Structure 1
Amino acid sequence: MINATAALGRLANEEHAYEHGHERPLRGYLAAMAVFAGGTGAVAALARMTGRQLPERIALTDVILGGVATHKFARILTKDAVTSPARAPFTQYEEPAGSAELNESPRKDSELRHGIGELVTCPFCLAPWIATGYVATLTFAPRVARAWSAVMTTVAISDALQHVYARIRTE
């Protein structure tokens, strides 16, 4: 039988050794990973129960549009001023970052809030979650997935054109 107290002590020692003098919200990361794995597992179970399967092959256009859409949606969720109320429980406002984006830092009052704060302020970190949702939606509702990716890709192209226009305009 495993001694729970001894096991927790060993885990705490491992965590301390890993951090090497820096605060790292490993328990918050672990919780986020558990949610991701659980959500992915639930979607796979639902697919199996309903007789759906992942597409045998995903079209290159779906990959390209999904990639651009994932990039744009990740920026909106992690940096946009308008979506800051959703991040506020996990972040602290730092400063404007330009182009309607904000710089925020994760709150550090608990490992869970810190870990989630890092996730919701990092477009690179959130992108796999979004891309997984996109592929899952391609499995269950491909028209919805393609419509979403078309909207987000169109917004990304518009944003790029806004930046180009701002640089080349003359008054």
Structure 2
Amino acid sequence: MENFPIELLVLIGLASFRLTRVIVYDKIAEFIRSPFLDEIIEDGEIYITPKGKGLRKWIGELISCYWCTGVWVSAGLLGAYFFFPEIGIPVILIFAVAAIASILETIIGRLIGD
């Protein structure tokens, strides 16, 4: 592990960033969150609360927390890289490229005032 390439760290970091955002925020993953989270809308504000008790509530708390989900996503991507590289590497590359695209889109959107 002492010779872990910085390029790999950057790729897995970017992939982790993007996949975590997909799970926690993006509409495409709403079906993953909906069994575990309730959305409450009050006065135009959206509040997210975990559903149920026990494991269901724990998962709801986990996937509503960007930092918590990020730890597990990072561990999963790193595990995929080491144990299943034929699947892990393409997945990491896809999400890393998507992360770069989303970062660029955010920067450009702010520069042109979207």
Deviations 1:49-98 (A, max 9, x none): xxxxxx67432211111011111101101111121111111101246xxx
Query: What do you get for the CA RMSD once the two structures are aligned?
Result: 2.4
Asked if 1:151 corresponds to 2:103, the answer is no
**What SS does the aligned partner of 2:27 have?**
coil
For residue 58 of structure 1, what is the aligned residue in structure 2?
A: 4
Query: Are the aligned partners of 1:79 and 1:103 in contact in 2 as well (CA < 8 Å)?
Result: no
| CA shift in 2, pair 1:87/1:56, >3 Å | same
Larger radius of gyration: 1
Q: CA deviation at 1:103?
A: 6.0
Judging changes above 3 Å, is the alpha-carbon distance between structure 1 residues 151 and 111 closer, same or farther for their aligned structure 2 residues? same
Percent of pairs with identical residues: 24
Instruction: For 1:122 and 1:77, locate their aligned partners in 2 and report how far apart those are by CA, in whole Å.
Output: 10
Q: Partners in 2 of 1:104 and 1:81 — Cα distance?
A: 14
Preserved CA contact (<8 Å) 1:71 1:123: no
**How many pairs were matched up?**
110
Question: Structure 1 length normalisation: TM-score?
Answer: 0.56
Unaligned 5+ runs, structure 1? 1-54, 96-101
- Residues 56 and 144 of structure 1: is their aligned pair in 2 closer, same or farther, counting only changes over 3 Å? farther
Secondary structure of 1:83's match? helix
Shift in CA distance, 113/158, structure 1 to aligned 2, threshold 3 Å: same
Report which structure shows greater RCO (CA 8 Å, sep ≥6): 2
TM-score, normalised relative to structure 2: 0.79
